[in-house]
Structure 1
Amino acid sequence: MKGLHLLLSFLWFNITICQSTVLIVDEDGQPLIGVSVYSRDQTFQTISDQQGVAHLPQGMSSSTILYFQFLGYKSQQLSLQELSDMDYRVQLMPGLQLEEVVIVGRAEESSRMTNQVHKVERDEILLLNQQTPADVLAASGQVFVQKSQMGGGSPILRGFEANKVLLVVDGVRMNNAIYRNGHLHNAITIDGSALDNVSVIFGPGSLKYGSDAIGGVMHFQTRVPRLSLGLDHSYSGMVYGRTSSANGERTFHADLEVRGAQFASWTSVTGSKYGDLKTGGNRSEEFPDFGKRFSYVERRNGSDIEVNNDDVNVQIGTAYEQLDLIQKLLYQKSEYEKLLLNLHYSTSSDVPRYDALIERSNGFPRWAEWNYGPQKRWMSSLSYTNTRKRSYSDLIHIIGAYQNILETRNNRRFMDDIRERQDEYVQVFSLTTDIEKSINQLDLQYGFEVNHNIINSEAEGINMSSGVDGLNILTRYPSGDNAMSSMAAYLAGNYNLSDRSKLLTGIRWTRTTLEFDYLNSDEISWPDNFYSGISSSNNALTWSLGVNNHFDNFRIQAMIATAFRSPNLDDMAKIRVNGIELTAPNPELEPEKTLNTDLTIGWSPTSRISWSNTIFFTELSDAIVRAPFSLPDGSTTFIDGPDTLTVVGNINAQKARVYGISSRLVAKISARLNLDATYNWTRGRILSNETSPLSHIPPSYGKIAVNYSSEDHKISIQWRYNLAKPLSEYGGSADNPEYATQEGTLTWNTLNLYHKWMINEHINIDVGLENIFDRHYRTFASGVSAPGRNLIITGRFLF
């Protein structure tokens, strides 16, 4: 009889744990709508409905931890056992949490980091309805984005850009051996419609991510298929169409999720067609013609002619198309083990490089055509997760990945029949292992990473009149065999000094090797060792030490850490024409190294107000900068057709210093209304000459947003602003002063309105109106002007 009683108790316990709903309420017991509920590994994600109810899958382990997060309320993390004890009723209390626990990066909690972290959630991504992931970052008010063309977007974190910041998608690093040090636009090859969230980790990330994470890490997490965790199969999906008036955008997206007890699938297709971008018509009285496109080049009857533009605000030479495909397959092998296959494919049409197309030489257009593309990116990864507790691990996460990238450049001078084409083929093989183990008050993380790049650089000239191809031109990178490899291991620990304080520290070792050589058929005569092969290797030991202190009304985070960036193939061996400059190879480059100090103070005087301020200071040694240089024969100029080019090269400068402030204020005005304001200020100097500004330092910028949320509507009014930056503060040619006014970057601001109307559970209508006053502006270092007044309309059908 006693055994029967125990059996019945066990069955009752499991039935209770498997309850499929949880009610989420506020401090007054009223339902909260739109609360994010997710598991740590994010295989389960949902939001509470109009009754405050979140639906949970059946069959979850009682030890599964769920996170409950809602803007303006303190987040909670509860196990299913705790939910059962609470009768599946969760009450969130108001208060803008000073130490918000969110999952960032490769499944790491922000509470175990001393870096400043900002996470853009899916709700915000859907509401703001941006065209590309780069636009998502810019709209956050926390990241500055440079644009050379409409089909691009180069994020800047704390004054670092391109290959000095790290792009990661679904745990796989995107940075490869040809990521350049100027402006890098690869973020747009990620499907913005598939994003679940974007984590921005500011400051040094070399401890966990290795080389390139000097300015920070941007981790783009696409959606993960969910299991039904029951006996029945289920499915859901979304179809939407979007149009934007500023560039005639036409985007179609469809996704389908199929859920089973052990298998789940998520399929996503997005196709976009963008027309030429129309910029704002309201210009500064001082520069009434700045940014106008008076003419453009057409090829008619085998000849180039300059054609007058009927509308000078339409930037002819910005249109392009893009297709993105994603397929994910999840297999839950056991309660503790799962496998996730992740396939990405992105391709584009030719993407015109607008900043080059508006260049002029001797009174005529310099280029008849200058296009990237098509740009193609393939990524396949297989990840394995094991949560079974062992003596050496509580969590094991392994990702093996293969990437295949094609970057193409096509350009032809005005009135010249020869089109030059450069193709860069990159293959990347990588394996990453992260392991976590908790021992009393100590949380350990350790792991290793290996990465191997194979690069082939090809080029040819094509005579457009005769059709003859195969003409000999310079390749962008060494024309022979090129490879870059790295291996690394790290150990990090978080020790709970008390309930309010944590000590965080870690160390990482990385070894990087680079090999390249040139062919004898090259247009330039190289030294003998360039033909026989050049190799370079370096070792880097980085460390981090930080502390988190969390008190009743304020929080203090402090960190001192090192970071590094090994010079890649682009740094050492690129041959590139840009404007009136030729970049020449420099095989003698050394790694860049930084010493970083961060201090974050968060203050919450009431449960409705949170104000966070971060002060950062970075000492950069052996900084790789562009400077006057010479070819191997000593020449400081190079003749390229009708142009005499000045030779420049990448060198290790003595030292540089970057410092700044980042501030964010969030205020809960009422149950449905909140204020979110950001401000960012950065300054950089080359220490050998305090009057020499460092490049890539944006002017001060930020945003002020007022957000409203109800059962059926979400509304956001946003004022985005950018202060001026005079030419005297530009850091040389990398900041593209030729695309600015005679005074530099002008002050600008825009007013933007976004509205999401949830008509019912199946139909949503999203409307946005950006740059309401149709102001003309061009962001710092950009070669294309920003969109003018832009009406965005999206219709979504969910099933």
Structure 2
Amino acid sequence: MKLFFTISLFLLAFLKLQGQNVKVLNSVTKEPVFGVAIYNVDKSKSIVTNFRGEADLSEFSETEDIYFKHLSHILKKTTKESLGDSKTVYLESNTQGLDEIVISASKFEQNKKDIPQKITSINSQSIGFTNPQTSADLLETSGQVYIQKSQLGGGSPMIRGFSTNRLLITVDGVRMNNAIFRGGNLHNVISIDPLAIQNTEVTLGSGSVIYGSDAIGGVMSFYTQKPRLSYTDSLLFKSNIVLRYSTASDEKTGHFDFNLGYKKWAFVTNASFTEFGDLKMGNHGPNEYLRPEFVVATNSGDYIIQNKNPQIQKYSGYKQLNLMQKVRYEPYENLSFDLGLFYTATTDIPRYDRLIRYKDNTLRSAEWYYGPQEWFMSNLQITKLSSRSNLYDKIKTTLAYQNFQESRINRDFQSVIENRREESVDAYSFNLDLEKRFSPRTQIFYGLEYVYNKVMSDGTEENISNNLISNTVSRYPNGASWESAAIYTSIKYKPNPKFVFQSGLRFNHIVSKANFEENNTFLNLPFNASKNEAGALTGTAGISWSPNNILQWKLNASSAFRAPNIDDIGKVFDSEPGSVVVPNESLKPEYAYGGELGLKLNFSKVVLDMSSYYTYLDNALVRRDYTLNGENQIMYDGELSNIQAIQNASKAWIYGFEIGLKMSIANHLDLKSQYSIIGGSEEAGDIEVPIRHVSPNFGNAHLIWSNNSFKMDAFINYNGELSFNELAPSEIGKDYLSALDSNGNPYSPSWYTLNLRSQYRLNNSTTITATLENITNQRYKTYSSGIAAPGRNFILSLKFSL
């Protein structure tokens, strides 16, 4: 009887203790929130939630006010009594982002409001709700990145008038840009699986002090899912399965990931597979975008077939596989070892913009496609976040290896010669980043970087009638190398909570080497080898000033650079019909000098965020007419072509204004809007002309309603017109991409789309996301795109979580 009584008392005490436990969850994702500070009014009682979002409230009384505070969520006040039996607290994310933490500005965590530059962030909740098909689409949802698409398997970002190799991409802190990143539209960002991303930070404007060459217009930093440890003896298991279907491209996506967390070890496995069919465009818009006919290649020859439905963009479909494996080892607090392995592969990707070109009123190409695009990365990161060293408080070491595989295959209509060019890049990198706080007001960030790229390139042509293969000029000099060594330092001075000053310097030394002997068999260049060396010193200085709770000013000035890479120095390719680009060994870095002024007005219910910027690009690397051995034409792939080369032959001026609005209209109802105005010109001989990658003015507006289980977003995306006179000369020559105005000249029309997105959480494990895009079925292209955007498109996604 005593034993029974003792057990009963124990059970009652245990149940009472359990009844004192509270669980803190994110109001949208229902994920546990770790590290929530829970305290009473005078902070005499306090506790912090564990990794399950749980905490024991037994020391608090039933009626006293209890505060729940977390850096990325809105402060909440409640009582134990009001929690009732559920003992669950839902925290709302801090949508204003005033206390948001960012990493990309210095490689270590900083408060976003301390950064003089503008950084826009996309967290996992937003990614789950917007449900992007590719990482390019993910960037577009920010409302601050413009996306161009040459084909369905593409997505070339434009930021503040810059694009391609003047923008930098990083994945988990590792530089993705390599020696053959080109100045033409670049689509490597789609190799990053959007379903594996935890958050993304886009730095608008120069990032050269921290990231070096290429970071002229901005830095896109992708951070993938981190393995989560248990910190206890029990296993922490988390898993997600995602299934998605969209109608416009007949997209079918399957994804799974799972986390195994132990006390010191954790593992994340992630896999996605996507199949896209031919994309269907909308009903209402320019007839020039329609696909009236296409080429079919058979054993008996090439035939032009009438398209039964000209809105179907034959051929544009492809498939993609993404794999990720990450391992984390944390032997003790503040020291971690992180290993990441990434692999992405596509099937052949049709180059749609090349398939719609005509020559003498006949489709020019029978075949034009990218071969399987593969990307592999392994990176090891060692991080120590607490140290008594005189040299640093925090230190991060990153070692990475990447391999890029890509190829281009094309054959003219009725031709028996198929041209094939294959490239491979091995990229090695080492980064050492350190942080040291000298006083409560002053801290410095400094580090060094070394990058080495090796380029392998091969060119062949095959006679498909007899299968004979012969060598031809390769796209790049085989065996070329590009290496960069750099040191940097920056200082942050914060004398009081209202004022922050940050400044930094970076010195880079870059060496490119190329051997042209193989290609000289075909080109007869006046040199057999080249070595290009360049040094670059860049800097930045800026302030963030918040005189009161309403106003925040940001002012920043910076310089940036891009060193010539192997694509600039040694590329051979057909830039446009009748033109071929050849190598040029006499290149120097291009420099950008810019300034930015930002103002944020926070009226609690209404937040206005405005920025204006100006950038001057000097010694710009641009494609211009060129002579080779005194000749201005050369035979290339069987066609007499005008000779061009990349040259330091221009200057450019880019300017713009951005404004964002966030407004709380009513309980659970918010309005968000973003609008960007961009302009610019560059030198072309004695005149100034529009710049190729300055996008039209663009914007969006979102009306969002949400509660604990349901969220709905009714939104509009819109885009201004670029008239014939506003097009860059290189775009005027690509009339097959454009609509025609009343005078028969190419131009980029304005457009808009009406859209509706919703998400419903059935229970803690099942979420449905449904989106209806382009409700009015508009037919449009984003500026400079070869492929038309989707028409009316229904996207349905199911997510199962354990």
Give TM-score scaled by structure 1 length: 0.88
- 2:532 is the alignment partner of 1:536: yes
SS in 2 for 1:315: coil
SS in 1 for 2:71: strand
**C-alpha distance in 2 between matches for 1:155 and 1:433:** 28
**C-alpha distance in 2 between matches for 1:59 and 1:430:** 41
Matched to 2:231, the amino acid is L
SS in 1 for 2:96: coil
- Report the counterpart of residue 351 of structure 1 in structure 2: 349
Say if 1:749 and 1:513 are closer, same or farther in 2 by CA, change over 3 A.
same
- Report the counterpart of residue 685 of structure 1 in structure 2: 681
CA contact (8 A) 1:514 1:535 kept: yes
- Report the counterpart of residue 499 of structure 2 in structure 1: 501
Say if 1:587 and 1:36 are closer, same or farther in 2 by CA, change over 3 A.
farther
Mapping of 1:549-568 within 5 angstroms? 549-550=545-546, 551-568=548-565
- Report the counterpart of residue 179 of structure 1 in structure 2: 181
SS in 2 for 1:333: strand
- Report the counterpart of residue 438 of structure 2 in structure 1: 439
Structure 1 gaps, min length 5: 1-15, 25-30, 41-52, 77-86
- Report the counterpart of residue 392 of structure 1 in structure 2: 391
CA contact (8 A) 1:35 1:68 kept: no
Q: Offset at 1:57? A: 5.0
SS in 1 for 2:117: coil
- Report the counterpart of residue 292 of structure 1 in structure 2: 290
- Report the counterpart of residue 141 of structure 2 in structure 1: 139
Mapping of 1:412-431 within 5 angstroms? 412-431=411-430
Mapping of 1:740-759 within 5 angstroms? 740-743=738-741, 744-759=747-762
Mapping of 1:110-509 within 5 angstroms? 110-283=112-285, 287=286, 289-390=287-388, 391-440=390-439, 441-469=441-469, 471-479=470-478, 481-509=479-507
Deviations 1:225-272 (CA, angstroms, capped at 9, x unpaired): 110111111211111211110000011001111010000000001001
Say if 1:261 and 1:160 are closer, same or farther in 2 by CA, change over 3 A.
same
Say if 1:387 and 1:97 are closer, same or farther in 2 by CA, change over 3 A.
closer
Q: Offset at 1:643? A: 3.5
Q: Offset at 1:750? A: 0.3
**C-alpha distance in 2 between matches for 1:684 and 1:519:** 40
Q: Offset at 1:197? A: 1.2
CA contact (8 A) 2:350 2:368 kept: yes
- 2:96 is the alignment partner of 1:96: yes
**C-alpha distance in 1 between matches for 2:195 and 2:217:** 26
**C-alpha distance in 2 between matches for 1:234 and 1:513:** 48
- Report the counterpart of residue 614 of structure 1 in structure 2: 611
Say if 1:107 and 1:388 are closer, same or farther in 2 by CA, change over 3 A.
closer
Say if 1:33 and 1:731 are closer, same or farther in 2 by CA, change over 3 A.
closer
**C-alpha distance in 1 between matches for 2:526 and 2:473:** 18
- 2:788 is the alignment partner of 1:785: yes
**C-alpha distance in 2 between matches for 1:657 and 1:683:** 8
SS in 2 for 1:136: helix
Say if 1:547 and 1:89 are closer, same or farther in 2 by CA, change over 3 A.
farther
CA contact (8 A) 1:700 1:722 kept: yes
Deviations 1:698-745 (CA, angstroms, capped at 9, x unpaired): 000011011121111111111000000012112221676421123411
Say if 1:153 and 1:361 are closer, same or farther in 2 by CA, change over 3 A.
same
Matched to 2:754, the amino acid is L
Matched to 2:778, the amino acid is R
Say if 1:418 and 1:92 are closer, same or farther in 2 by CA, change over 3 A.
closer
CA contact (8 A) 1:75 1:100 kept: no
**C-alpha distance in 1 between matches for 2:455 and 2:446:** 30
Matched to 1:720, the amino acid is N
CA contact (8 A) 1:196 1:222 kept: yes
Say if 1:363 and 1:736 are closer, same or farther in 2 by CA, change over 3 A.
closer
SS in 1 for 2:137: helix
SS in 2 for 1:107: coil
Matched to 2:475, the amino acid is R
**C-alpha distance in 2 between matches for 1:501 and 1:603:** 16
**C-alpha distance in 2 between matches for 1:378 and 1:662:** 36
Say if 1:20 and 1:335 are closer, same or farther in 2 by CA, change over 3 A.
farther
Q: Offset at 1:524? A: 2.6
CA contact (8 A) 2:433 2:448 kept: yes
Q: Offset at 1:527? A: 3.7
**C-alpha distance in 2 between matches for 1:334 and 1:59:** 22
**C-alpha distance in 2 between matches for 1:226 and 1:320:** 34
- Report the counterpart of residue 574 of structure 1 in structure 2: 571
Mapping of 1:715-730 within 5 angstroms? 715-730=712-727
Mapping of 1:640-659 within 5 angstroms? 640=636, 643-659=639-655
**C-alpha distance in 2 between matches for 1:327 and 1:94:** 31
SS in 1 for 2:353: helix
**C-alpha distance in 1 between matches for 2:748 and 2:796:** 31
Q: Offset at 1:23? A: 4.3
CA contact (8 A) 1:325 1:346 kept: yes
**C-alpha distance in 1 between matches for 2:455 and 2:374:** 15
Given the alignment, which residue of 654, 662, 669 partners 1:673? Answer: 669
**C-alpha distance in 2 between matches for 1:398 and 1:682:** 38
CA contact (8 A) 2:384 2:394 kept: yes
**C-alpha distance in 2 between matches for 1:75 and 1:433:** 40
Matched to 1:458, the amino acid is D
Percent identity for Structure 1 against Structure 2: 31
Say if 1:36 and 1:608 are closer, same or farther in 2 by CA, change over 3 A.
farther
Give TM-score scaled by structure 2 length: 0.88
Say if 1:142 and 1:525 are closer, same or farther in 2 by CA, change over 3 A.
closer
SS in 2 for 1:163: helix
**C-alpha distance in 2 between matches for 1:383 and 1:599:** 35
Deviations 1:137-165 (CA, angstroms, capped at 9, x unpaired): 11221110111001000000100000000
**C-alpha distance in 2 between matches for 1:23 and 1:641:** 65
Say if 1:20 and 1:115 are closer, same or farther in 2 by CA, change over 3 A.
farther
Matched to 2:557, the amino acid is I
SS in 1 for 2:631: coil
Moved more, 169-178 or 360-369: 360-369
Q: Offset at 1:695? A: 1.8
CA contact (8 A) 2:751 2:780 kept: yes
**C-alpha distance in 1 between matches for 2:314 and 2:551:** 52
**C-alpha distance in 2 between matches for 1:178 and 1:641:** 21
Given the alignment, which residue of 675, 698, 701 partners 1:701? Answer: 698
Aligned residue pair count: 738
Deviations 1:26-60 (CA, angstroms, capped at 9, x unpaired): xxxxx9555888789xxxxxxxxxxxx97625999
Say if 1:89 and 1:280 are closer, same or farther in 2 by CA, change over 3 A.
closer
Matched to 2:384, the amino acid is N
- Report the counterpart of residue 108 of structure 2 in structure 1: 107
**C-alpha distance in 2 between matches for 1:483 and 1:131:** 34
- 2:596 is the alignment partner of 1:598: yes
Say if 1:510 and 1:428 are closer, same or farther in 2 by CA, change over 3 A.
same
Say if 1:372 and 1:495 are closer, same or farther in 2 by CA, change over 3 A.
same
Matched to 1:762, the amino acid is S
Structure 2 gaps, min length 5: 1-16, 36-47, 56-67, 78-86, 742-746
**C-alpha distance in 2 between matches for 1:20 and 1:142:** 43
Matched to 2:188, the amino acid is N
Q: Offset at 1:334? A: 1.5
Say if 1:618 and 1:417 are closer, same or farther in 2 by CA, change over 3 A.
same
CA contact (8 A) 1:457 1:477 kept: yes
Given the alignment, which residue of 768, 771, 782 partners 1:765? Answer: 768
CA contact (8 A) 1:75 1:97 kept: no
- Report the counterpart of residue 636 of structure 1 in structure 2: 632
